[in-house]
Amino acid sequence: GVGGGVSSDGGGGGVERAGKRARLLESSSSPTFHVTKSRLQDARQECCPYLDMVDRKSLNFDFAKFCSVTLSPQNVYCCLTCGKFFTGKSTSSPAYTHSVSTSHYVFMALDKKLLGRVFVLPDNYEVVDRSLDDIRAALNPTYTPQAVASLDAKTAWARALDGADYLPGLVGLNNLAMAAGGASATQQRKANQKAPGSTDYLNVIAQLLVRAQPLRDYFLLQREADAVHASAPSAQAADTQNRVLLVQRFSELCRKAWHPTAFKGHVSPHEFLQAVQHASNRAFNADEQGDPQAFLAWLLDAMHLGLTAGKRKKASVITRCFQGELDVRDASAGESAEDASKAAEAAAA
């Protein structure tokens, strides 16, 4: 019966068709698996199921990028759900542990090499999605020459996430003396009464300088990066490094102050003031009130030296904007000071 079934036309045709179907499945199984896997990876990158967990109101990139567990500044990621900073993506890293323990899955890289790239933990794959561009812009605002040229053409109000309106370039700067970490409300009130507004003399100078058009345009276009790279030697002294860091922090502050789609209508100058303290050897700090005029003179000089690698006579954007000339004249006998002043004005005209 078996032999007859195989040798008959009907049985042989069935076996032949079954064999062709088996060979077809065998030959196509491997390519089909690889295509499906590739498409699955693309789908995970472009259609991440966890993006609805991103909470923009919890994000604040104004503070130093240190891991909240190890205090390390290396390989730091920001949890886009709670806003905390953690290091690493490995299974033993604080970021991985935080992801598993809290079910927070979306992290943005804060290091220069991976700045703004988004990853999902613990699965460890990258997310490519344009909906996260506003977060990248809040982390590192950038401007085109056309956008900078149009800043003074019209006044355009912006709106923060909390619904408050703000004017880019005229945002408030947080008073850091009023937020002493670890202090109770009573201790903070007493500290504020003892030294009210200890960073206001620093903030007012920063707000003044970010409104100076030539200086503003220079830093919004990040031209200081080229100047620092061209003038800095391979091995810098500690004071020169502190001044270069001061220039970079002022650039970041300026770009954030003019950011038209910021999440908040104010900026915390925390990193800028830290750079000020290091570069001035704590001559200007948040612990006590200072003289804004003295701070302005020091800041301009320090940023000039930071841009020129300590070469005081070399030109920079600081000297082009703020350096002037002193005209000294001797009054002739019997000539009053008023007459000498009028003569100087006439000569200048």
Beta pairing class for 266-267 and 172-173? parallel
> Which residue from 61, 94, 136 is spatially nearest to 86, judged by alpha carbons?
94
3-class DSSP state of 198:
coil
* Partners of 87 in beta bridges: 76
pTM attached to this predicted model: 0.75
DSSP assignment string, 66-102: --TTT---SSEEEETTT--EEE--STTSHHHHHHHHH
Q: Please tell me the predicted confidence (pLDDT) of residue 236.
A: 60
Tens-digit pLDDT string for the chain (349 aa): 444 444 444 445 555 555 554 554 454 444 444 444 454 455 455 678 899 999 999 999 999 999 999 999 999 999 999 999 999 999 999 999 999 999 999 999 999 889 999 999 999 999 999 999 999 999 999 999 999 999 988 888 999 999 999 999 999 998 886 544 444 445 545 554 445 558 889 999 999 999 999 999 999 999 988 777 655 555 467 788 899 999 999 999 999 999 999 999 999 999 999 999 999 999 998 888 889 999 999 999 999 999 998 889 999 999 999 988 877 777 665 556 677 677 767 766 6
Q: Give CA separation, 251 vs 180, 221, 283, in Å.
A: 25, 9, 21
Residue with tokens 């042989």: 12
Encoded amino acid at 277, one letter: Q
**Burial (CB count <10 Å: 0-12, 13-18, 19+), residue 184:** exposed
